[in-house]
Structure 1
Amino acid sequence: MHELQPVVDYLKNNELILATAESCTAGLIAARLAEVSGSGAVMECGYVVYAVEAKREMLGVSQRTIDEFGLTSEEVAREMALGALENCGAGITLANTGLAEADGELDGTLCFACAMLVEGEPRVVSETIKFPGERNEVREQAARHALLSVERYVARLRNPFENH
């Protein structure tokens, strides 16, 4: 069985259709999910928004948020996730932004966000993770982390006051 099969099964069992909004993983989250048999039933679309302009124009990330918090921020990831949720027919979105390769302390730092409608209202959760390794190792770890976190993210979105 593929390592990510439980993610596809979880999405199917909960009747959730996923969209991604990816910056530094450049479509890897969607690609890894697509490797799993049956993923076509749970995947709507994927946005690859590497450039600042793409984040703004395709997902509605505000320039003010970018200026105030920086591109590697949970605030930008949250706006990416909410923008994808608003723009497509998916019921849940995963977004990430960060630096898979940089000089300094932000190297390997990725910000993740997950958004979905709960009782008709959009909700979003986010987190920041620092991964070790070279550029593509960081990207692989990030894609895997995002997908393996779906169930935990959904629990946080549905029950925001419980520890998850």
Structure 2
Amino acid sequence: MQNISDASLQAKIIQVAETLNKNHFMLTTAESCTGGWVAKCCTDLAGSSSWFERGFVTYSNQAKQDQLGVQLTSLQQFGAVSQTVAEEMALGALNNSCADISVALTGIAGPDGGTETKPVGTVWIGWARKSDKVVSQLFQFEGDRESIRRQAVLNALSGIIKNARD
């Protein structure tokens, strides 16, 4: 289990800001299991309006459909915690914003809600760019709800940097 401090998140968000400013990118977030924590980290940094455009907190399946255009068939076939939904969330955030790059998180932070195939700690993170590039990654985090969410936020931020550079 990784213990991620507020200072670690703050250091990472400074790197995100530098990378996005350097590339003249605006960021949008689409969050489910993290409840807006990535957006909070972004806006904790003074001057973030130069690179942070908006955030969507789409906790329910209906919100994912209404705000991000996630397909009902994707939710029914794969579930909210899936590669397909994470990628649709990331693309939907771009399509419903003025941003150049997005990150989307969907997962099971616990302590309940896990299944044999999707245990607590299962998190899909998707990143998309206006160029239609979309990538995603499956994570299996360990720990309590707070720890799982912190790990998800840190990995989302790291992926923003990587995808802004690539």
TM-score interval (norm. to shorter): 0.7 to 0.9
Aligned to 1:33: 42
In the alignment, the residues of structure 1 paired with residue 46 and residue 68 of structure 2 have an alpha-carbon distance, to the nearest angstrom, of 29
Q: In 1, are the aligned partners of 2:108 and 2:120 still within 8 Å (CA)?
A: yes
Would the aligned equivalents of 2:20 and 2:164 in 1 still touch at CA under 8 Å?
no
Q: State the alpha-carbon separation in 2 of the partners of residues 73 and 140 from structure 1.
A: 19
Alignment-derived partner of residue 129 in structure 2: 116
Contact 2:19 2:164 in 1 (8 A): no
| Distance in 2 of aligned mates of 1:16 and 1:46 | 15
Contact preservation (8 Å) 2:30, 2:55: yes
Q: Secondary structure at the match of 1:142?
A: helix
Residue 63 of structure 1, CA deviation: 0.8
For 1:137 and 1:40, locate their aligned partners in 2 and report how far apart those are by CA, in whole Å.
28
Q: Which blocks of at least 5 consecutive residues in structure 1 are unaligned?
A: 159-164
SS in 1 for 2:133: strand
Residues 26-82 of structure 1: CA deviation (Å, up to 9, x unaligned): 100010122223322110000000011000111110011111111110110100111
Residue identity opposite 1:74 in structure 2: Q
| 3-state SS of paired residue (2:130) | strand
Q: Which amino acid aligns with 1:139?
A: R
Match of 2:31 in 1: 22
How many residue pairs match? The answer is 153
Match in the other structure for 1:64: 73
Aligned pairs for 1:7-156 (under 5 A) are 7-101=16-110, 102=112, 103-105=114-116, 106-118=119-131, 122-155=132-165
Letter in 1 for 2:122: T
Counterpart contact for 1:5–1:37, Cα < 8 Å: no
Please give the secondary structure, in 2, of the residue aligned with 1:125.
strand
Instruction: Give the Cα separation in 2 of the matches to 1:107 and 1:11.
Output: 32
- Aligned CA RMSD, in angstroms, stands at 1.5
TM-score (norm 2): 0.87
Identify the structure with bigger relative contact order (alpha carbons < 8 Å, sequence gap 6+).
Answer: 2
Q: 1:96 is aligned with what amino acid? A: L
**TM-score normalised to structure 1 length:** 0.88
Equivalents in 2 of 1:53, 1:142: separation in Å? 22
Listed as ranges, the gaps of 5+ residues in structure 2 are: 1-6
Aligned amino acid, residue 123 of structure 2: L
